[in-house]
Each structure stands twice: as structure tokens, then as C-alpha cells.
């Protein structure tokens, strides 16, 4: 029996928080929640300062793919 494919985890750095200063910090790394519908409209769903995931304009972020060891450490730290 095949193992289910592991979903990739992506992160993004906030580069513009204008109007969302309480929710986003410039220079901070945020976990992206995959959402094709949001992305098709130019948004990224990220876990913000509230600890919840919300859609923000993708141009507020610089998307990164991090190496697996760093991904695991970041996910542990956010749990």
C-alpha cells in the first residue's frame, strides 16, 4: 500500500504590512496554508499573529521553500 504523499510546507516573509500592523510583522516568517482558490485570486492564506489563518494579498509576502530540517524545526516551534 502506498503512503499518502506528504504535503509540502511553504513559508513566506512579510514585506508589507500596511493596514495590517497588528496582524503582520515586516520581516517575519509566516507559514502558508495551501489554498488554490485564494491563490487564483492573488491571495496567500497565512497563519498570522492571531494564530489563525487568513488570506492576504500575495504581494505582501516573499515566498520561500525551506530545507526539510528547517521546516521541521519551524513547525515544532509553531506548535
pLDDT tens digits, residue range 24-60? 999 999 999 999 999 999 999 999 999 999 999 999 9
Q: State how many domains the chain has.
A: 1
**Residue range of the domain that includes 64:** 10-78
Residue 25 within any structural domain of the chain: yes
Q: Round to whole Å and give the CA distance between 32 and 66.
A: 12
Here the CATH number for the domain that contains residue 18 is 2.30.30
The predicted structure's pLDDT at residue 4? 44
Q: Locate 74 and state its grid cell.
A: 519551524
pTM comes to 0.79
The predicted structure's pLDDT at residue 3? 47
Contacts of 25 (CB under 8 A, 6+ apart): 14, 17, 49
The predicted structure's pLDDT at residue 72? 86
Q: What is the mean pLDDT of the chain?
A: 88
Residue 18 within any structural domain of the chain: yes
The predicted structure's pLDDT at residue 9? 74
Amino acid at each position: 500500500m502506498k503512503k499518502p504523499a506528504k504535503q509540502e510546507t511553504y513559508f513566506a516573509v512579510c514585506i508589507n504590512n500596511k493596514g495590517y500592523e497588528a496582524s503582520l510583522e515586516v520581516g517575519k516568517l509566516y507559514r502558508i496554508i495551501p489554498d488554490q482558490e485564494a491563490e487564483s485570486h492573488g491571495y496567500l492564506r497565512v497563519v498570522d499573529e492571531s494564530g489563525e489563518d487568513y488570506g492576504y494579498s500575495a504581494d505582501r509576502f516573499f515566498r520561500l521553500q525551506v530545507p526539510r530540517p528547517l521546516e521541521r524545526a519551524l513547525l515544532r516551534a509553531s506548535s
